[in-house]
């Protein structure tokens, strides 16, 4: 007899601003219900309006983040936290300097020895565990099918670690870094195993260029070549697809 919990695939489609409102409302609801909630957060272009909506919840409705603990998925390596391209800087700028959440973590991208990196990654995992595990993990999806910076080939049980970035991922970062040679070749990322331990997962995919990979992730085989496909094994994941994907994915509706 199988004791595995059933995997519920929830698909929410709509125009991007509607998805943003729904996701922000879900996060606000969680924080109201559990003031010491542990949130897993993503960076990139897609979540910025979600963070703007959370700032509005804080300023206009008094949502209190003072006991919330946040863990970000990833950080470039090597990079200094103060660098304008760092995810540390992104989170500070887009969210944490605008809400009352003093406890937030982004993996350190500061250059260190191999041993120090491994120890810092282990500590990151311990911090998540000590906080009680992640209640809600927000994810985007990369063109390579990555979640966090788990590029194709990432293993189901991988943990926080140093990884190499794929060519497409580095190409997508050129706009932020100014030139190809300035884009870091590596990053520190939570592992697939770390992400799948979150109690609830929300993935948001926006735009035509995510269409094929999102379809593969949702409905294709669960394989290391499409890291987001591992989410099919999670019991509580919601896929939020914007209009560009909705129109092109009739088989998912």
Instruction: Decide whether 61 or 208 has the Cβ nearer to ligand F6R.
Output: 208
- Nearby residues of 155 by Cβ (< 8 Å), 6 or more positions away: 191, 192, 224
State the minimum distance, in angstroms, from the CB of residue 43 to ligand F6R. Answer: 4
- Binding characters for ligand F6R, 128-167, by CB under 6 A (x = yes): ------------xxx---xxxx------------------
Q: Which of 36, 35, 37, 39 is nearest to 51 (CA)?
A: 39
What is the Cα–Cα distance from 210 to 228, expressed in whole angstroms? 12
CB 25 within 8 Å of CB 69: no
73 near ligand F6R, rule: CB under 6 A: yes
State the minimum distance, in angstroms, from the CB of residue 75 to ligand F6R. Answer: 8
Among 42, 183, 198, 226, binds ligand F6R (CB under 6 A): 42
Cis-peptide, bond into residue 78, ω within 30° of zero: yes
State the minimum distance, in angstroms, from the CB of residue 143 to ligand F6R. Answer: 8
DSSP E strands: which ranges in 82-132? 103-105
What is the Cα–Cα distance from 133 to 126, expressed in whole angstroms? 9
Among 7, 45, 111, 126, binds ligand F6R (CB under 6 A): 45
Among 19, 22, 46, 214, binds ligand F6R (CB under 6 A): 46
Among 20, 24, 31, 44, binds ligand F6R (CB under 6 A): 44
**C-beta neighbour count of 146 within 10 angstroms:** 27
43 near ligand F6R, rule: CB under 6 A: yes
Binding residues for ligand F6R (CB under 6 A): 42-46, 73-74, 140-142, 146-149
């Amino acid at each position: 007899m199988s004791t595995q919990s059933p995997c519920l695939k929830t698909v929410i489609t709509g125009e991007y601003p509607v998805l943003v409102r729904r996701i922000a409302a879900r996060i606000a609801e969680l924080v109201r219900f559990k003031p010491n909630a542990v949130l897993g957060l993503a960076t990139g272009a897609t979540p910025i309006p979600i963070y703007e909506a959370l700032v509005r919840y804080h300023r206009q409705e008094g949502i209190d983040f003072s006991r919330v603990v946040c863990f970000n998925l990833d950080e470039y390596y090597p990079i200094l936290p103060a660098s304008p391209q760092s995810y540390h800087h992104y989170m500070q700028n887009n969210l944490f300097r605008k809400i009352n959440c003093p406890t937030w973590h982004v993996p350190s991208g500061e250059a260190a020895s191999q041993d120090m990196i491994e120890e810092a990654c282990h500590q990151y995992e311990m911090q998540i565990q000590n906080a009680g595990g992640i209640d809600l993990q927000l994810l985007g999806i990369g063109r390579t099918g990555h979640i966090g910076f788990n590029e194709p080939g990432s293993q189901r049980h991988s943990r926080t670690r140093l990884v190499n970035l794929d060519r497409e991922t580095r190409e997508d970062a050129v706009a932020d870094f100014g030139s190809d040679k300035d884009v870091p070749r590596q990053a520190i990322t939570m592992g697939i195993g770390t992400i799948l331990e979150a109690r609830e997962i929300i993935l948001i995919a926006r735009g035509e260029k995510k269409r094929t990979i999102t379809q593969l992730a949702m409905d294709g085989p669960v394989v290391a070549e499409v890291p987001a496909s591992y989410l099919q094994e999670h019991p509580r994941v919601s896929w939020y697809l914007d209009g560009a994907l909705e129109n092109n994915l009739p088989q998912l509706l």
